[in-house]
Amino acid sequence: MRIILLRHGQSLGNVDELAYCRIPDHALPLTPLGEEQARAAAPRVKTLVGDAPVAVYVSPYVRTRSTLRNLALGSLAERVVYEPRLREQDWGNLQDPVQQEVLKHQRHAFGHFFFRLPNGESGADVDDRLAAFLADLETRMADPAHPSTALVVSHGLTIRLLCRRLFGWSIELFESLSNLDTCEDRVLSHDGTRWHLDRPFTQWRHSPDDEVQAPLRPTPPSVIKDQTIE
């Protein structure tokens, strides 16, 4: 089983934070660059998917749906599920620009995981809904009729928390990791016993509890042999 995680392309909110004050978060569109990023990611994602069908689970926000549309998966996508549990952390309706800055400073000082935004969610709330999503997904993927590969198109913090939940990473490690760049991906593979991550997230500081991002996907012996011969 494999899960391909893909963050959406650059959105209006990524380049204009005041956009959150006049446009609902779920309605923020991709920028022209974001559209280009999604189209540029299409060959890479199709290579990762391969020839077999893929089940797509996508956040219902405009920017994630637009990213998926620009991937142009066509018949490769056996099914597409618009999954609200994959949405970004809810900051609570339209934002006030002054309060927005205050909340960001408070959240950074308090901790991104436990700080609950007024009328919105904490990281822990997102973690809880992702736990339910992952339980459903693993049940579905155990069904032989379900594709063995799932593509998840979601958001930066959501993807980090999905991995935190799947691998049981500590809160301290989660808060030490950076979001994926826009249209960046990670691949999770299951070896029959446990899940592996193809490569680590960028870490902006050492985790205070010394926890590390493991397990990573081991390099096949044939690859090691080939590298040694060269």
Active-site pick, 88, 121, 155, 175:
88
CA 220 – CA 58 distance, rounded (Å): 31
Judge whether residue 227 has pLDDT over 80: no
Q: In the chain, what is the straight-line distance between the N-terminal and C-terminal CA atoms, in Å? A: 31
Q: Which residues of 88-111 are buried (b: 16+ CB within 10 A; e: fewer)?
A: bbebeeebeeeeeeebeeebeeee
Judge whether residue 99 has pLDDT over 90: no
CA 70 – CA 31 distance, rounded (Å): 13
- 192 pLDDT band (50/70/90 cuts)? confident
**If you average pLDDT over residues 77-89, what whole number do you get?**
97
pLDDT for position 171: 96
pLDDT in tens, 138-181: 999 999 999 999 999 999 999 999 999 999 999 999 999 999 99
Least confident of 116-120, 129-133, 175-179, 201-205: 116-120
Q: What are phi and psi of 116, to 5 degrees?
A: -95, 125
CATH architecture for residues 2-229: 3-Layer(aba) Sandwich (3.40)
pLDDT for position 217: 67
pLDDT for position 218: 55
pLDDT for position 209: 95
For 121, the token pair is 């969610």
**If you average pLDDT over residues 110-135, what whole number do you get?**
95
pLDDT in tens, 44-57: 999 999 999 999 99
Question: At what angle are helices 156-167 and 123-141 packed, to 10 degrees?
Answer: 60
Does an H or E element contain 114, and which? none
Q: Please confirm, yes or no, whether 190 is among the known catalytic residues.
A: no
Active-site pick, 8, 121, 155, 175:
8
- State pTM to two decimals: 0.91
* In contact, 118 and 48? CB cutoff 8 Å: no
Q: Please confirm, yes or no, whether 196 is among the known catalytic residues.
A: no
pLDDT for position 216: 74
Mean pLDDT for the chain overall: 92
| CB-facing half-sphere around the CA of 167: CA atoms within 13 A | 26
pLDDT for position 96: 86
pLDDT for position 9: 98
